[in-house]
Amino acid sequence: MNNSIVQRALAWRAQGEEYLFARAKTFFKHMLDWLEQCEEYFLGRGRQNASRAVHDAIDMQSPDEVAKFETADVCCLGLYTLPLSEIVLAVKKQRWSRAGTALGKVLARKASIQFGVHDCAGAQNWIVVPIPTPFLRRVMRGIDHSDIIASAFANELRFPLRRALWQRFGRTQKTLNRSGRLQRLQRFALRRWHVESVLGKSVILVDDIRTTGATLSQATQVLLHAGATRVVAAVVCVVEK
């Protein structure tokens, strides 16, 4: 008698555990599906908002004014004026990485036409190199804005991204005039393990802002000295003198 009761109790317990496990499994599956839908919705909206903000800001730029600051070796999306300047600062200061990605994609499309790399037979010789942010500044800001823009730039053109340069920590660029920037000639250096990746390549330097041109000039000299055959620059915006 006692054995029969125990067996029935064990059977009820097994059935109860199986039922509760099945209910819990169904519940968590619904929760995961709901979280995936929420993530897809909000991330999608975030990407759309960032892309829309970037395109609207570029559309407000005057093509004639922008053309004054472009050369055969320098490509830019616009001048450092509102609202484009506000977006660039938001990427850098507020870690708006989606806007940085959108800027990189748009910049890549324009650079491919201006530098003639969209249909160039030797396109495989191009590499993308971001202007590096010093390590301590990356840690303090929590983001490497130039790297985000350059990564999206390289992905859009399907060019290899090479983080070939590194930069010593110092005063921020906005606190220096051109002569002060040129005095920091040893600010950039080539990473030793990237010597082969630069040798004989055409390089596209990517940065967010061009103020005096000293940064791009110094980085260009380092890359040419390392054996690059050509160095051009693609920047988001240019500070009007």
Quick one: CATH architecture of 62-238?
A: 3-Layer(aba) Sandwich (3.40)
Is the pLDDT at 2 greater than 80? The verdict is no
Better-scored residue on pLDDT, 91 or 2: 91
Is the pLDDT at 39 greater than 90? The verdict is no
- What is the value of pTM for the model shown? 0.77
Average pLDDT, the chain: 85
- Domain ranges (residues) in the chain: 1-59, 62-238
Q: What pLDDT shows up at residue 181?
A: 55
Q: What pLDDT shows up at residue 54?
A: 92
DSSP string, 128-188: EEEPPPPHHHHHHHT--HHHHHHHHHHHHHTPPB---EEE---S-GGG--HHHHHH-TTSE
Q: What pLDDT shows up at residue 144?
A: 94
Contacts of 27-35 spanning 24+ positions with Cβ under 8 A: none
Q: Which residues contact 106 (CB under 8 A, 6 or more apart)?
A: 54, 55, 58, 77
Q: What pLDDT shows up at residue 84?
A: 94
Is the pLDDT at 179 greater than 80? The verdict is no
Instruction: Kindly state the percentage of the chain with pLDDT values over 70.
Output: 83
What is the token pair recorded at 191? 């990473």
| Mean pLDDT lowest among 116-120, 140-144, 171-175 | 171-175
CA 146 – CA 217 distance, rounded (Å): 17
Is the pLDDT at 125 greater than 60? The verdict is yes
Please state the rounded mean pLDDT for residues 96-107. Answer: 94
Is the pLDDT at 102 greater than 90? The verdict is yes
Is the pLDDT at 41 greater than 60? The verdict is no
Is the pLDDT at 201 greater than 80? The verdict is yes
Q: What pLDDT shows up at residue 197?
A: 92
Contacts of 85-91 spanning 24+ positions with Cβ under 8 A: 85/237, 86/57, 87/53, 87/54, 87/57, 88/208, 88/209, 88/236, 88/237, 91/143, 91/145, 91/148, 91/149, 91/208
Q: What pLDDT shows up at residue 240?
A: 86
Q: What pLDDT shows up at residue 81?
A: 93
| Mean pLDDT lowest among 25-29, 112-116, 167-171, 214-218 | 167-171
Please state the rounded mean pLDDT for residues 30-39. Answer: 69
Is the pLDDT at 140 greater than 70? The verdict is yes
